Amino acid sequence: MINIVLFGKPGAGKGTQAEFLKTRYNLTHISTGDVFRYNLKNETELGKQAKVYIDRGDLVPDEITINMLKDEVEKNTDTKGFLFDGFPRTIDQAKALDEFFESKGWNLTATVALEADDEILVQRLLERGKTSGRADDQDEKLIRNRYQEYNEKTAPLIDYYKKQHKFYAVDGIGSIQEITERLTLLIDKLI
Binding residues: 11-16, 32, 37, 58-60, 86-89, 93, 128, 134, 146, 174
- Read off the DSSP letter of residue 138: T
Measured CA to CA, the distance from residue 121 to residue 32 in angstroms comes to 19
Q: Is 89 a catalytic residue?
A: yes
Q: Is 144 a catalytic residue?
A: no
Residues forming the annotated binding site for ATP? 11-16, 128, 174
Judge whether 88 and 10 are in contact, CB under 8 Å.
Answer: no
**DSSP notation for 59-115:** PPPHHHHHHHHHHHHHTTTTSSEEEEES---SHHHHHHHHHHHHHHT----EEEEEE
Catalytic residue among 9, 22, 124, 146: 146
* Nearest in space to 124 (alpha carbons), one of 29, 9, 5: 9
95, 134, 153, 182: which one is catalytic? 134
The residue from 14, 22, 124, 166 that is catalytic is: 14
For 24, other C-beta atoms within 10 Å of its C-beta total 13
The annotation places the binding site for AMP at 32, 37, 58-60, 86-89, 93, 134, 146
Catalytic residue flag (residue 162):
no
Preceding amide of 61 cis, omega within 30: no
* Nearest C-alpha neighbor of 4 from the set 119, 127, 86, 100: 86
> Is 146 annotated in the active site?
yes
Catalytic residue among 51, 128, 153, 182: 128
Report the C-alpha gap between 153 and 62 in whole angstroms. Answer: 11
Verify whether residue 128 is a known catalytic residue.
yes
* Active centre residues (catalytic): 14, 89, 128, 134, 146
